[in-house]
Chains A and B, each alone.
Chain A
Amino acid sequence: MLTKSLKWVYVGIGLVLAIVPLIWMVAGSFRTEADLYGHTASLFPHEWTLHGYKGVWQQLPFLRLLFNSVLFAGVTTALTVLFDSMCAYALARLEFRGRTVAFWLVLVTLMVPFQVTLIPVFMELFHFGWLNTYQGLIIPRATSAFGIFLFRQFFMSIPKELDEAARIDGAGHFRIYWRVILPLAKPAIATVALLNFTNLWNDLIWPLVVSTDNTMQTLPAGLALFAGQHVTDHAVLFAGAVISLLPIAVVFFLAQRYFVAGISTSGLK
């Protein structure tokens, strides 16, 4: 009995710590500056206002940031799913010379921290003239070794007889990949897509480095830079944070099991 109540005290404290900051942020986006300074001990606004949600469009290039985030995370995720699954198809189901070498090359890229390559990649993009461009943001991130591994693992569990049957019917590799393997790989696609989308949507250092121009920044970079200045209206910042969290929160509640599956095998930044 004692251990049981101790357990719920522990979980209860945890719940308060987990929830209160988020409520305070959401409530803060509806608060006036005077209210925020005047009633610091209160979790909720004394008087609700929508000026934060209006100000976010005026004080920040918010529509542009939102558009950039959607484009960057959306297009990159689509390309990653396509390229990773193609690469994994070759690694898992085709026999050819150099396959082991290719697999090791992918493995190496998984082990080296992203920061080691950040500076040379920045220089490459500088030489290509790709800084402050969408191709500069998207193409270097359009494949992930983690996705290749996850797809390879999944594809290896699909019986080989399916390919053979399709081959007897005259299907080529591309048709087998597109018509036989991919339709069976929906859970893997969902996991790779969700995880990549979340990571890219949330990423700060990459857009910060590639986009120095503030019309080319994504939401996290735009908000971080805004927060780094002297903040005179916190509701605006909180409103921006709430809007940028919204799509991820919706996807999280709809597709939690894919998140759990993906994150517990690969982690999230």
Chain B
Amino acid sequence: MTSLARKVPAALGGRGPAGWLFMAPSLLILGTFVLFPIGRSLWYSLHNWTVGAAEQPWAGLDNYTRLFGDAQFQRALANTLIITVASTAVLVVVGLGLALALQSENVVSRVVRSVFFFPTVISLTTVGMVWRFLLDPDIGLVGGVTRALGLDPVNWLQSTALALPTVIFVNVWKNAGFVMIVLVAGLKAIPGEHYEAASLDGAGRLQTLRSITLPALRPTMLFVTFMVTVQSLQLFDLVYVMTSGGPLDHTETLVTKLYRDGFVNYETGYAAATSWVLFIVVVLVSALQLRIFRYNDAD
């Protein structure tokens, strides 16, 4: 202990293993609460692990095979993929539209951009809650306006057909400003000469967009779609607050399923298996994106 008490100040003063000492707090935390748990999670997923049980028997791949026969899991996987693909596609189109419309640096554009960006910092819990009540046919503004127009209000979140598209809509509402802001930064990085050259060649608006703007935006697009897909694949808060996965599992996602199995039913091993499926899906989707946005040899 005394030797340690002497070594620590010595290292901070520039002698001894200073590097490791500076990294110690972070590495200790990451090691204990991220790296070790990654291995541990794989271990759980291969056992019939239940909290508090006397025995935790080896299960091999049983948890994984059981998952693929579990109708709730199949729904959750399908919903997660639908949410991710639909949110990303809509967000790219909506966000690009906003970015193109608001890219100039005048006061109006800047203020409007802030308004669109604001939902990015609101918690998904609050966003989910507001939309849940906004769409509630008894008290919501949406239902109220529908009635005022002489139509029957729609029960958006109780309908098996509409609940999932509604969750996707709210996810888009929350993230559109993020996509817009990142794309505006990408647009500003395109050199002005490219546009001048295009206009000298007599290119129209659409042609300029297709042959100058979109190719130059590709790295930014890769980044923004990557962020949005990873966020959507891990969607939890919004669903937890808006529907709790209902009606009849029609909005269940991989993470709400994992939460239900792991922290409500205490089936630790089974939930761990779901988390590994989620990890594999994240890796596959990311790899697919890299392929889609791959630079051509011509570049």
A interface list, Cβ under 8 A from B: 3, 7-8, 10-11, 14-15, 17-22, 24-25, 28, 36-37, 39-43, 82-84, 86-87, 89-91, 94-96, 98-99, 102, 105-106, 108-109, 112-124, 126, 139-140, 142-143, 145, 148, 167, 172-175, 177, 198, 201-205, 208-209, 220, 223-224, 227-228, 234, 237, 241, 244-245, 248-249, 252, 256, 259-260, 263-264, 267-269
Chain A: minimal CB distance from B269 (Å): 9
Q: Is the CB of A10 within 8 A of B37?
A: no
Q: Of A28, A223, A264, which is in contact with the most chain B CB atoms at under 10 Å from its CB?
A: A264
Chain A: minimal CB distance from B42 (Å): 9
Chain A: minimal CB distance from B26 (Å): 4
**A156, B35: Cα distance in complex, Å:** 26
Residues of B within 8 A of A201 (CB): 123
**A115, B173: Cα distance in complex, Å:** 24
Which of A19, A37, A43, A140 contacts B141 (CB under 8 A)? Answer: A43
Q: Is the CB of B141 within 8 A of A119?
A: no
Residues of A within 8 A of B254 (CB): 115
Q: Is the CB of B23 within 8 A of A86?
A: yes
Residues of A within 8 A of B32 (CB): 124, 140
Q: Is the CB of B30 within 8 A of A41?
A: no
Q: Is the CB of B241 within 8 A of A116?
A: no
**A248, B123: Cα distance in complex, Å:** 9
Chain B: minimal CB distance from A40 (Å): 3
**A7, B101: Cα distance in complex, Å:** 6
Q: Which residues 68-103 in B have Cβ within 8 Å of A in the complex?
A: 94, 97-98, 101-102
Not counting A120-B37, A202-B124, a sample of 12 additional A-B residue pairs whose C-beta atoms are within 8 angstroms of each other reads A14-B94, A21-B134, A39-B144, A40-B143, A83-B25, A86-B25, A96-B17, A116-B38, A116-B279, A142-B29, A227-B241, A241-B129
* Contacts A117-B33, A143-B26 given; does A267 touch B227 at CB 8 Å: yes
Q: Does B156 contact A (CB under 8 A)?
A: no
Chain A: minimal CB distance from B64 (Å): 14
Q: Is the CB of A204 within 8 A of B123?
A: yes
Which of B14, B117, B131 contacts A167 (CB under 8 A)? Answer: B14
Which of A117, A198, A234, A241 contacts B126 (CB under 8 A)? Answer: A241
* Contacts A87-B27, A105-B30, A269-B231 given; does A248 touch B122 at CB 8 Å: yes
Chain B: minimal CB distance from A196 (Å): 13
Q: Is the CB of B255 within 8 A of A115?
A: yes
Which of B21, B141, B176, B263 contacts A41 (CB under 8 A)? Answer: B141
* Contacts A124-B32, A139-B29 given; does A223 touch B37 at CB 8 Å: no
Which of A15, A82, A98, A113 contacts B279 (CB under 8 A)? Answer: A113
Which of A36, A94, A224 contacts B139 (CB under 8 A)? Answer: A36
Q: Which 3 A-B pairs have the closest CB atoms?
A: A40-B144, A172-B13, A202-B123
Q: Does B272 contact A (CB under 8 A)?
A: yes
**A119, B244: Cα distance in complex, Å:** 20
Q: Of A21, A94, A259, which is in contact with the most chain B CB atoms at under 10 Å from its CB?
A: A21
Residues of B within 8 A of A36 (CB): 139
Chain A: minimal CB distance from B289 (Å): 14
Q: Does B119 contact A (CB under 8 A)?
A: yes
Which of A102, A123, A167, A267 contacts B231 (CB under 8 A)? Answer: A267
**A173, B101: Cα distance in complex, Å:** 49
A-B contact pairs, 11 of them (CB 8 A): A14-B94, A14-B116, A14-B176, A18-B119, A18-B173, A140-B29, A142-B25, A142-B29, A167-B14, A244-B123, A248-B123
Residues of A within 8 A of B279 (CB): 112-113, 116
**A11, B240: Cα distance in complex, Å:** 31
Q: Does B182 contact A (CB under 8 A)?
A: yes
Q: Does B205 contact A (CB under 8 A)?
A: yes
Which of B14, B22, B140, B262 contacts A89 (CB under 8 A)? Answer: B22
Chain B: minimal CB distance from A125 (Å): 9
Q: Is the CB of B133 within 8 A of A234?
A: yes
* Contacts A122-B263, A202-B123 given; does A109 touch B22 at CB 8 Å: no
**A40, B227: Cα distance in complex, Å:** 37
